[in-house]
Amino acid sequence: MSEAALGRFYEDGEVIVRQGEVGDCMYVVQDGVVEIVREADGHEIQVGSAGRNEVVGEMAIFDRHPRSATIKAKGRARVLTLDKRNFLRRINEDPALAFRMVETLSRRIRLLNDQVVALQAQLDQRDG
């Protein structure tokens, strides 16, 4: 059976993982789109989304902290769960996977940096 056939289908709005839960796996979006939301003061703020072949929830594998966001399907999505042991096995089989993961994390950090700068500029304009 191919890896592509292993993912689970989630329906629109169905929660894949909830903010605050303890996590020990990450997810690969095989089809569709998932949205990443932070819950604060009873409100949800969308902080990102991921589509086909993108990885989400990977921080749980690296830092063992509670989930920092909720991930849910936007429309119908098929998502593969990948635990730490299988992730490390895959990196052993394909070391380039580790590099691609670092590329993804670097891209996300750059995006967050840009958002921080934009928000600071907005605050400065409001205060100044």
Q: What is the pLDDT of residues 45-85, one digit of tens each?
A: 999 999 999 999 998 888 889 999 999 999 999 999 999 89
Torsion, Cα 64 33 81 114, to 10 degrees, reads -30
pTM tops 0.95, yes or no: no
The three-state secondary structure class of 94 is coil
Q: What is the pLDDT of residues 81-115, one digit of tens each?
A: 999 899 899 899 999 988 988 998 899 899 989 99
Torsion, Cα 43 45 87 103, to 10 degrees, reads -160
Q: Cα angle at 22 between 11 and 111, to 5 degrees?
A: 70
